[in-house]
């Protein structure tokens, strides 16, 4: 009987210890879940804040570029007006007609205050004249003699664009094809419609200097052994590589690695620019959404084509 009571007491102790262990394990799991939830909430807040800041910057850039576009339109109208005036004066001179006998016609776009005076300008002020490859702004003081240093004061270059082009695009789904243009199908901005989201190709609308940036994140799968995985991406002009970026990882865990590169290129009207994956490890891929983006814009147009 005593042995039976002792055995019963031992069994009760075992059951009590087992229940305590289960309670501790359940409590530990709940704490870990709460920690994971808290980390997820913080990460989501950070991403939302970055996205809001990016949208605000993009909106400010759109306003600035629209203002520049309006200024360019005014300048192009002025250039067209001066060209038309020059043609009219040349024709009148050829036909022996002159409405202003005191002025002369010139056979080119005005390149100086002296040229402007030749075609009849007399009011002091800011004028646009033709430089070597771009339009320049000068201040003309026609009250001075042409030999005086204050007759013409150079102000700076004028940003003239006959066809504005600037875009900002992202990718909606993962991509893992090599040596083919990546179609960035989320179009945030595409002024001038030079970027084709279906083909993933940007076509230069005019000859000039362009600036491009590419940034993103590569996803590397987990492996059973520690090994090096890589992801190489490039910017291509007419299918010829112009710049490369690489992301790599040495781990047996799932990892994401970021990459970015920029390039300024001299393009001829019709040149095609695309982003392509040059090479990558098996199962690596390009991440999507706000992680990967491609943007570019026309820096300076070569307007010698209009001369």
Q: What is the pLDDT of residue 33?
A: 81
Predicted pLDDT at 98: 44
CA distances (Å), origin 64, targets 60, 67, 166: 6, 5, 12
Q: Pick from 92, 275, 302, 287: which is nearest to 207 by CA?
A: 302
What are the structure tokens assigned to 132, written together? 């070597």
Rounded distance between C-alpha atoms, residue 78 and residue 86, angstroms: 12
Quote the pLDDT of residue 2: 47
Among 216, 250, 221, 218, which residue's Cα sits nearest to residue 231? 218
The encoded tokens of residue 283 equal 């199962």
Extract the residue ranges of the chain whose pLDDT is less than 70.
1-27, 89-105, 223-226, 252, 305-307
pLDDT attached to residue 13: 56
**H, E, C per residue of 31-42:** HHHHHHHHHHHH
pLDDT given at position 200: 96
Predicted TM-score of the model (pTM): 0.59
Q: Are 135 and 117 in contact (CB under 8 A)?
A: no
Report CA Rg, the chain: 34
Mind listing the pLDDT tens digit for each residue in 94-153?
A: 554 444 444 566 777 899 999 999 888 999 999 999 888 788 999 999 998 988 889 999
Q: Which two tokens stand for residue 127?
A: 């004028």
pLDDT in the model for residue 11: 60
pLDDT the model gives residue 293: 94
Please say whether the dihedral angle defined by the alpha carbons of residues 187, 188, 191 and 195, taken in this order, is positive or negative. Answer: negative
Q: How far apart are CA 306 and CA 91, in angstroms?
A: 19
CA distance 261 to 28: 45
Give the integer Cα–Cα distance in Å for 293 and 299: 19
Q: Are 219 and 249 spatial neighbours (Cβ–Cβ below 8 Å)?
A: no
- Check if the beta carbon of residue 139 is closer than 8 Å to that of residue 121: no
Which helix (H) or strand (E) segment holds residue 302: the answer is none
Instruction: State how far Cα 170 lies from the chain centre.
Output: 11
């Amino acid at each position: 009987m005593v042995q039976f009571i002792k055995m019963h007491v031992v069994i009760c102790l075992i059951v009590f210890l087992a229940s305590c262990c289960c309670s501790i394990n359940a409590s530990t799991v709940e704490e870990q879940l709460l920690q994971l939830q808290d980390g997820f909430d913080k990460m989501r807040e950070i991403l939302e804040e970055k996205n809001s800041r990016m949208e605000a910057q993009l909106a400010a850039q759109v306003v600035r570029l629209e203002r520049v576009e309006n200024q360019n339109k005014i300048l192009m109208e002025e250039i067209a007006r001066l060209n038309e005036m020059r043609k009219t004066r040349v024709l009148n001179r050829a036909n022996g007609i002159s409405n202003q006998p005191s002025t002369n016609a010139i056979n080119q776009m005005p390149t100086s205050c002296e040229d402007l005076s030749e075609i009849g300008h007399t009011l002091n002020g800011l004028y646009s004249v033709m430089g070597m490859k771009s339009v320049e702004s000068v201040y003309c003081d026609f009250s001075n003699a042409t030999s005086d240093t204050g007759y013409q004061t150079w102000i700076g270059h004028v940003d003239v664009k006959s066809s504005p082009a600037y875009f900002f695009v992202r990718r909606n789904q993962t991509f893992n094809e090599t040596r083919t243009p990546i179609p960035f199908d989320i179009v945030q901005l595409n002024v001038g419609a030079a970027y084709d989201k279906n083909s993933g190709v940007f076509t230069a609308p005019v000859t000039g200097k362009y600036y491009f940036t590419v940034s993103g994140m590569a996803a590397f799968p987990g492996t059973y052994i520690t090994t090096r995985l890589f992801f190489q991406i490039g910017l291509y002009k007419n299918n010829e590589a112009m710049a490369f970026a690489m992301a790599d990882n040495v781990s047996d865990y799932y990892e994401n690695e970021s990459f970015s590169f920029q390039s300024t290129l001299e393009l001829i009207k019709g040149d095609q620019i695309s982003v392509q994956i040059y090479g990558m490890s098996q199962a690596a891929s390009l991440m999507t959404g706000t992680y990967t983006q491609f943007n570019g814009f026309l820096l300076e147009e070569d307007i010698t084509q209009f001369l």
